[in-house]
Chain A
Amino acid sequence: MGGVSDRAAARAAKSALSQQLAAVPEVVGIGLARRGTGYVVKVDLADPLAARRVPRDVDGVRVVTSVVGVVRPL
């Protein structure tokens, strides 16, 4: 499993992961989150079953998932 990284490394990993997951419709957002002193990539999912399609790390950067359901305008 990857560890926490600096923001630039996490940003690069996020870009790579965004391309990798572009065809997964249950992914509703990919961003940077903090864990301890560093950053991880956070993948938001509409459906928990899609978690198995998300790797646990990208280029040494840890990836976490969160099920947020459908996002709507408020």
Chain B
Amino acid sequence: MQIDSARELKARLGARLAGWPAPVSASGLAPGRVWFPPALGLSPLAGGRARLAIRVATPADAATLLEGVADAVRAEVDVRVIGPVRAQTSSPSAPAVPPADLQRRVRPLRPGLSVAHPAVTAGTLGGVVRMGGRPAILSNNHVLAASDAASVGDPVLQPGPADGGTGADRVATLSAFVRFTAGRNLVDAAVAVLDPGVEADPAGYPGGPLAAVVADGDEVDPDEAVEKVGRTTGHTRGRITAVEVDGVAVQYDDVVHTFDGQIEIEGVGGAFSAGGDSGSVIWRSGDRAPLALLFAGSDVGGAQGGGVTFASPLATVLAALGAEW
């Protein structure tokens, strides 16, 4: 729908939500149960349009919230039942994610697992996005598309070959990637649509699902606390040390590609990333908003000398691929 209509609907539903009765009766929960209020957000689309995203804990919450909304309008609203969302600061108590568990063959698929094109060693399954309405794996071009050497239609393996993945571990089919250019690049990104019968848990991040709406690149601020889960270092925490970083010169095998508009991160209490973590989705700790796609890093630098990590704004990545969060 047009962005103004989406804003208007969001405001209307937000007001309705504010007027709901006491939480316990709103969802008809038994006394003592915790109620998780629905989350509303806008996802900007091309052409001045936007989609209203609603995330609810139970189907009953969705029915109540959308009562009286015309069917034609409902058809343009993205409603998903995501179950209870754990506290935003729950990650410290979330179970650790041993990297060895991320390097095995795991079904259903979830964020953080080892994946790769058959010609690549291993990278990370960053998240499950939608391509033309179909679920798809998000990662980097250099993970899923072998740095432009692959063709659309090629297989994607879980785990990646470096972790023992073979043709029998095929989970997805490369459907789009952003080719590198000799000029300024914005992303190192690719998506692969899940093969029939392969299931994935898009909400399977440490601490629970991420927010429904991707952070706007302009609102990402230095010093914000962030997290990621990746194939090599597992679940790590970091701090954004720079934004809008231009001229990031990344040494690929035999060529340097230069990137503009990147986000720089350093680890807190250890390195934020290492080889094999490429493709991880990075989220903001404060509100769990997904904000960037990890793709590169250095061995030195950062306050603790463990190197810095570079990531592309997720909104830019999704727009370049034509994918939806």
Interface residues of A (CB under 8 A from B): 11, 14, 18, 22, 27-34, 39, 42, 44, 46, 66-74
Beyond A32-B222, A71-B249: 11 further Cβ-contacts under 8 Å? Answer: A18-B247, A30-B245, A32-B244, A46-B249, A66-B301, A68-B301, A70-B251, A72-B250, A74-B275, A74-B277, A74-B297
Is there an interface contact between B300 and A73, defined as CB atoms closer than 8 Å?
Answer: no
Complex Cα spacing A32 to B294, Å: 18
Which chain A residue has the least Cβ–Cβ distance from B221?
A34
Q: Which residues of A contact B310 (CB under 8 A)?
A: 29, 71
Complex Cα spacing A73 to B274, Å: 9
Complex partner residue of B308 from A18, A32, A44, CB under 8 angstroms: A44
Q: Which residues of A contact B294 (CB under 8 A)?
A: 74
Q: Which residues of B contact A18 (CB under 8 A)?
A: 246-247
Contact with A along B259-283 (1 / 0, CB 8 A): 0001010000000011111100000
Complex Cα spacing A11 to B222, Å: 13
Q: Which residues of A contact B177 (CB under 8 A)?
A: none
Complex partner residue of B242 from A27, A32, A74, CB under 8 angstroms: A32
Complex Cα spacing A33 to B250, Å: 20
* Chain B interface size, under 10 / 10 to 19 / 20 to 34 / 35 or more: 35 or more
The answer to the question of B140 belonging to the interface, with a C-beta cut-off of 8 Å to chain A, is yes
Is there an interface contact between A31 and B262, defined as CB atoms closer than 8 Å?
Answer: yes
Closest 4 CB pairs of A and B: A31-B245, A68-B301, A31-B242, A69-B300
Complex partner residue of A73 from B247, B296, B302, CB under 8 angstroms: B296
Is there an interface contact between B296 and A74, defined as CB atoms closer than 8 Å?
Answer: yes
The answer to the question of B174 belonging to the interface, with a C-beta cut-off of 8 Å to chain A, is no
The answer to the question of B295 belonging to the interface, with a C-beta cut-off of 8 Å to chain A, is yes
Q: Which residues of B contact A42 (CB under 8 A)?
A: 241-242, 245, 264
Contact with A along B191-227 (1 / 0, CB 8 A): 0000000000000000000000000000001110000
Complex Cα spacing A22 to B184, Å: 13
Q: Which residues of A contact B274 (CB under 8 A)?
A: 74
Q: Which residues of A contact B147 (CB under 8 A)?
A: 73
Complex partner residue of B244 from A11, A27, A46, CB under 8 angstroms: A11
Q: A32, A68, A70, A71 — which one has the most chain B CB atoms within 10 A of its CB? A: A71
Complex Cα spacing A32 to B248, Å: 13
Q: Which residues of B contact A71 (CB under 8 A)?
A: 248-251, 296-298, 310
Which chain B residue has the least Cβ–Cβ distance from A25?
B249
Is there an interface contact between B222 and A34, defined as CB atoms closer than 8 Å?
Answer: yes
Q: Which residues of A contact B243 (CB under 8 A)?
A: 31-32
The answer to the question of B160 belonging to the interface, with a C-beta cut-off of 8 Å to chain A, is no
Which chain A residue has the least Cβ–Cβ distance from B147?
A73
Complex Cα spacing A66 to B275, Å: 22
Complex Cα spacing A72 to B275, Å: 9
Complex Cα spacing A29 to B309, Å: 12
Q: Which residues of B contact A31 (CB under 8 A)?
A: 242-246, 262, 264
Q: A67-B300, A69-B300 are in contact. Are A44 and B250 (CB under 8 A)?
A: no
Complex Cα spacing A73 to B255, Å: 11
Is there an interface contact between A74 and B245, defined as CB atoms closer than 8 Å?
Answer: no
Distance in Å: Cβ of A56 to nearest Cβ of chain B: 17
A-B pairs with beta carbons under 8 Å apart, 8 shown? A30-B245, A31-B246, A44-B242, A66-B241, A66-B302, A70-B251, A72-B250, A74-B273
